[in-house]
Structure 1
Amino acid sequence: MFSRVPEPLPDDPALDAAAYQAMDHRQVNTAFVEDLLSGGCVGPRVIDLGCGPAGIPLILSERYRQSEEVEGQSERPFAEGRLEIMAVDFSVDMLELAQFEVELAGMQDLVFLQQIDLTDPESLQEDLAQTIISNTVLHHLPNPITAIQVAVRALMPGGRLFIRDLFRPENEAEIERLVELHAGSDASVDVPPEYAPAQLLRQSLWAGLTLQESRAMVASVGIPEEAVQMTSDRHWTLDWTMPV
């Protein structure tokens, strides 16, 4: 097992944001939302930590709008009350892309954007939301525990924390196998080599946490280790409900 290698900071944040948006994340974002909704009740207040161009908030909003057409609250995966999604990110460039996407989708009444710094454990107030989510963001941080601390602080008692991130394999050969398997479909994206999908995924896998590391991390803030499980060949997922 080799040590974690934190991701380098982007030289050009605007280009970094544009390269990320150019990749097709619809499938993995949809899988995230489906797993979230199938695993328990969501909302009505939701915070997405590290929203990027707002892909997940928009898919979640689409599902909410569809659920409004279903009669009977018991048939809906959403909690009673109007859905409100606070989508937060540190990158101004990502938030500008997110604002465009939110307006284009006509979801301004459901998705609200805010800049916060996930390296600051107190960047959000206490007891803000019933559901806090985050998808493949922690590995971008020099010390991922700070994002968990932000989430626990902002989660209401009885609320649900749903976080998914990349798993660091045992060796470089396995990293290259995963890069070949999962980044090949984006090979046509026209970006500089350092922003190519394969290189970004490679860096992200090097920066990910092992299952043991992620479990130790959440245990340090009082979350049971078993709340973290491997959920794909490259992802671990934390699904935990805070005691009332």
Structure 2
Amino acid sequence: MSGRDFAGRVALVTGASRGIGRAVALALASRGAAVAVNYRSHKDEALEAVAEIERSGGRAVAIGADVADVSAARDLVEQTREQLGGLHILVNNAGITRDGLLHDMDPAVWWEVIRVNLGGAFNCTHAAAGHLMAQGDGAIVNVSSIMGEKGLTGQSNYSTSKGALNAFTLACAVEMARFGVRVNAVLGGVIPTDLIGELLQRDGGRGRTHVPMRRYGDVRQVAEAVAFLASPAADYVTGELLRVDGGLAVQLSNGRLVSR
């Protein structure tokens, strides 16, 4: 990809104040996109991301919205179009974890994860779809996880939300292809962020031995994959679930783990 792949294009990245979302926003901006940095509760960090983009000569705005709310998601899309002059790329990244064993999980906790991780992606896609299809040009990238294909103790809600997000990606890709809109997903492996910081702290780094590449991933690696799928370089790619996991999903499929 060239350094100006997204010149003249507008991207909306949800959950972009920190972690993977922030890295995606910076990656798209560095390639010329004007970026709407969405946040729910971390306004200061979203504004810092905007400032970083602007210092590099880019254009960005911070827009607060809870994407799990239908009306808020609709307003988010409209504000992006109004403030930045259009919309071409939607990255559904906002997500949460609320780990716990199924037998004693509060049903409200189960549905909270589904509402944000899956519902947020639906709400934003639904809000943006008409505009993208009408202009005959658009790319949607959903940030998913290999846990949508696998299972991990204590993550029945998270795995379910990401598995459904993968299926949603495929269905949307088929529906929207004839309108010039591509829909793909990036499935991250173990990517250290605030989202899983507590889990990794308890693990003490031992989990790296389970990854064939013997190291955890980085938010920038996920961001590069998102940027590729949103770029002209991938203009014949749709309905793809791209793993960025150092081979972890393949290893889990083999039914064994790497020893030290």
Same fold flag (TM > 0.5): no
In the superposition, the TM-score normalised over structure 2's length comes to: 0.31
* The structure with more helix, counted as a fraction of residues: 2
More relative contact order, 1 or 2 (CA 8 Å, 6+ apart)? 1
